[in-house]
Copies of this chain bind each other. A is one copy, B any other.
Amino acid sequence: MSKIEPKTLPGFMELLPNEQILFNQIKAKIENVYNKYGFLPIDTPIIESAEVLLAKAGGETEKQIYRFNKGEADLALRFDLTVPLAKYVAKNYGNLSFPFRRYQIGKVYRGEKAQKGRYREFYQCDVDIIGDGTLSILNDAELPSIIYNIFKDLGFEDFTICINNRKILNGLFESLNLTQKSTEILRIIDKIDKIGKEKVIIELQKLELQENAINTIINFIQITGTTQEIITKLKELKIENETFKIGLEELESVAKYVLAFGVPQSNFKIDLTIARGLDYYTGTVYETFLNNYREIGSVCSGGRYENLAEYYTDKKLPGVGVSIGLTRLFYKLNELELIKAEKKSISDVLIIDMETQDTTYLKLANELRAQGINTEVFLNNKKLKAKFKYADKLQIPYVIIIGEDELQANKVKVKNMQTGEEKLVENNAKIIADNLK
């Protein structure tokens, strides 16, 4: 029979079991933090009606989307978890309690150009808080504490949650009568880290901005310092614009409360250059960087939006949320060897029976499982050496051996696979369990 090549599509992550164990541990840690803060899980379909998914899309999204017909139906695969959330909230409005705090961890699909570290199928881990009509700015201050706890739990210390407020940027441009050029200006100032101040000025001049406006913008984006210093300097700009003032007030509130929510001063800062795309976010915006690996880009981003579901409902539903692109993050962290599994195997112990014609070993396996020990039994005919090699390859930390001698003495032999140490232990699940730590 001619064979078909068992290939996986480019841009689709498919891990070997030991990597999958690590991936799942990271996913579980993120989910655990979401649960710790009392967010509710939802699980929306991966396939939706194209009309629903593309209600607001356009540009890149529309080009990248997986869209197809099945019978009469015009279908598409979700490309993020925000549009499905908007649909979900609009659809179930009467059955939800607000503020609606939800998380969703699931795969999304974008037919991007395949390249190293870019995925067409990837996990997003989204957490959002949706208000009914209004939503207190305190929610914007809670999210950084969620980000903080996730990256702390993943073993990081040196990371920075950067916070800004889009109203400050928007208000600045309004005050300069530059709202129509704001998109291009944002794109230019976003490059200051890469190309430097002088080139930014040249590019702004190309946009035919007046010298006065250019100076204001340059002064603005060069504002740095402690949170309090930045707030003070922003106030000193004396920009007479209502949007700017509201943004500044919001940012001041968020910065103050972030501390109360338990984020250390060293793990967040105001960064006035962060804008997060162009028209989606309307208030607070977040990006998160591992300080020694800024080249990875933001590892957790998000922000405040005025109206989640305007394409589906007249209800005003403001929200704030962040998302982690887990597949790409995992790829990068794994490549840089920045993450290690706490537990490298699923099984805590492998039981090997020395062909005793006795089923004591099967009984023991069940008793150990009842003690919370993940217990695997080697059930196949192999040489003893091959059985140990199996435990070794799977990094199972302990092996229990039961032979005739052990049976007669009502004991089992416990071998620590890392140290090679062997000891005889009474055949009692509780006592054995204590010897597997």
Contacts and interface: CB of A to CB of B under 8 A. Distances in A.
Interface in A43-82: 43-49, 51-52, 55, 66, 68-71, 73, 75, 77
Given A42-B20, A139-B380, A66 B70 contact: yes
Interface in A375-427: 375-377, 379-381, 390, 393-394, 396
A134 interface: yes
A350 interface: yes
A13 B139 CA distance: 30
A55 B4 contact: yes
Contacts of A95: 16
Contacts of A262: 362-363, 366
Interface string A94-107: 01110101100001
Contacts of A121: 45-47
Interface in A2-41: 3-9, 12-17, 20-21, 23-24, 35-41
B4 A37 contact: no
A347 interface: yes
A312 interface: yes
A12 B120 CA distance: 23
B96 A379 contact: no
A390 B48 CA distance: 30
Interface in A80-121: 86-88, 90-92, 95-97, 99, 101-102, 107, 109, 111, 120-121
A49 B9 CA distance: 7
B17 A362 contact: no
Nearest to A104: B20
A313 to B, nearest CB: 6
A267 interface: no
**Copies of this chain:** 2
Contacts of A7: 49, 52, 87, 91
A380 B133 CA distance: 11
A136 interface: yes
Contacts of A347: 38
Nearest to A66: B70
A390 B97 contact: yes
A374 interface: yes
B312 A3 contact: yes
Contacts of A17: 40-42, 96, 102
Interface in A131-146: 131, 134-136, 138-139, 142, 145
A185 B307 CA distance: 62
A362 B260 contact: yes
Contacts of A14: 42-45, 88
Contacts of A381: 134, 136
Contacts of A16: 92, 95-96
Given A24-B41, A42-B15, A52 B4 contact: yes
A1 interface: yes
A311 interface: yes
B5 A312 contact: yes
A42 to B, nearest CB: 6
A117 B284 CA distance: 43
27 contacts: A3-B311, A4-B55, A4-B311, A6-B86, A6-B90, A7-B52, A9-B49, A12-B47, A14-B43, A20-B42, A23-B43, A35-B346, A37-B369, A38-B346, A38-B376, A46-B121, A71-B111, A97-B394, A101-B376, A131-B380, A135-B380, A136-B380, A142-B377, A142-B379, A260-B359, A261-B362, A262-B363
